[in-house]
Amino acid sequence: MVIYLRGDLGAGKTTLVRGMLIALGYSGRVKSPTYTLVEPYHIAELDLRHFDLYRMHNGQEWESAGFRDEFDGRNILIIEWPERASNLIPRADIEIDLEILPRGRNAEIHANTEIGKQCLELL
């Protein structure tokens, strides 16, 4: 499953991932992958990868980082700033757009595939 997270800096993308991990039962520290670019998690029999591609500038950086190996069909991939590698990553099953409002946040969630629709129905 591939999940895209979009929103301005400070919109709550990493906070949303933190909440998702906690909901799955993760009790460790959840840090932003802004500098590491990816943080791996194994929780509830799932292998999850949290990417932050904000610092990516081109496809060569993507290839050099070896990220293609993470997209093996076995991992759940949550990707912040997917537009930085749009032609190199698979299409999202679910897209979440976060918007900062004067009071709080707005989240729009879209399912693009059958598995994405099934996931949202379970929520």
Provide the Cα torsion 73, 42, 44, 13; round to 10°. -80
- Per-residue model confidence as pLDDT tens for the chain (123 residues): 999 999 999 899 999 999 999 998 998 888 888 878 889 999 888 899 999 999 888 777 877 887 877 877 788 999 999 988 878 888 999 999 999 999 999 999 999 999 999 999 987
**Among residues 14, 36, 24, 15, which one has the least CA distance to residue 123?**
24
Please report where in the chains the tokens 């698979």 appear, as a residue. Answer: 90
Domain ranges of the chain: 2-122
pLDDT of residue 29: 87
Measure the CA–CA gap between 99 and 46, rounded to whole angstroms: 28
pLDDT of residue 72: 77
pLDDT of residue 55: 87
Of 3.20.20.10, 3.90.600.10, 3.40.50.150, 3.40.50.300, the CATH number of 2-122 is 3.40.50.300
> Residue 70 corresponds to which tokens in the numbers above?
């993470």
> Residue 69 corresponds to which tokens in the numbers above?
């190996």
